[in-house]
Structure 1
Amino acid sequence: MNEITIILNEFLIQTKSSSALISGAKGKLITSLHLDYSDSVAAMSDAILSMSDKFLTDLAKGSLKQLYLKTTDGGVAVMNKINNSHSVIVFSSDGSNLGLFLRNIDELSTKLSGISLLK
């Protein structure tokens, strides 16, 4: 395992999340864990983040840092920017530990931003 995969795996275990991925510029998949169709998910996530960021910018509400999605069955997906070109998306089937999850994904992004491949 490389450094990025180790960090993501530790995060999944710590937060009891089910899967994660990191994408780069234009939705290019960097890595993923326990996720089917990772390339497609990375591309779709990039589109969602780009449109959401543009939406906030157009409304003069600042720039996007984190996007939270909740499913009807209680699952969550949180997308967090690592920097201007990379983001991490984490999925959990249980949103009951949401506070811990949101705080930890922000810390995860900060940790990942120090890795040379993601600068």
Structure 2
Amino acid sequence: MNEITSTLNDFLITTKSSAALILNGKGKLITSLNIDYGDSVAAMSAAILSMSEKFLIDLDKGVLKQLFLKTSEGVVIGNKISGSNFIIAFSKDGSNLGLLMRSTEEAAIELSKNSLLK
């Protein structure tokens, strides 16, 4: 298991998230854990992130750092790693949302130290 996948796996265990992936700004999957069709999920996530970034810029509200989506089956957290790379986490339990958001940001900071994600 490489360093990026190991960090992602540790994140899943620590946060009890059900799945996670890392993608670049063009929607290319870098790695994923517990996700079927990771390439498609990465491409769709990139579209959501790109539109969200443009939305914030158009409204002069700064740059996108973290994105939160609540679904009928849990939550999705997206966090910028560095440049245009993102980590996306899926959790069936939204009751620990603050901890999940902070942990996702901490994982992003840890992943930004990896030369492949700078």
Q: What residue number does 1:96 align with?
A: 95
5+ residue gaps, structure 1: none
In 1: Cα distance, 2:3 partner to 2:76 partner: 23
Q: After TM superposition, where is structure 1 displaced by more than 2 Å over at least 4 residues in a row?
A: none
Which residue identity is paired with 2:49?
A: L
5+ residue gaps, structure 2: none
In 1: Cα distance, 2:102 partner to 2:86 partner: 16
Identity %: 66
Q: What residue number does 2:26 align with?
A: 26
Looking at secondary structure, tell me which structure has more helix per residue. 1
Provide TM-score, normalisation by structure 1: 0.97
Secondary structure, aligned partner of 2:82: coil
Provide TM-score, normalisation by structure 2: 0.97
In 2: Cα distance, 1:25 partner to 1:49 partner: 8
In 1: Cα distance, 2:13 partner to 2:34 partner: 12
Q: Does 1:56 align with 2:56?
A: yes
Query: Number of aligned pairs?
Result: 118
Two-structure CA RMSD over aligned residues (Å):
0.7
Looking at secondary structure, tell me which structure has more strand per residue. 2
Q: Does 1:11 align with 2:48?
A: no
Which residue identity is paired with 1:96?
A: S
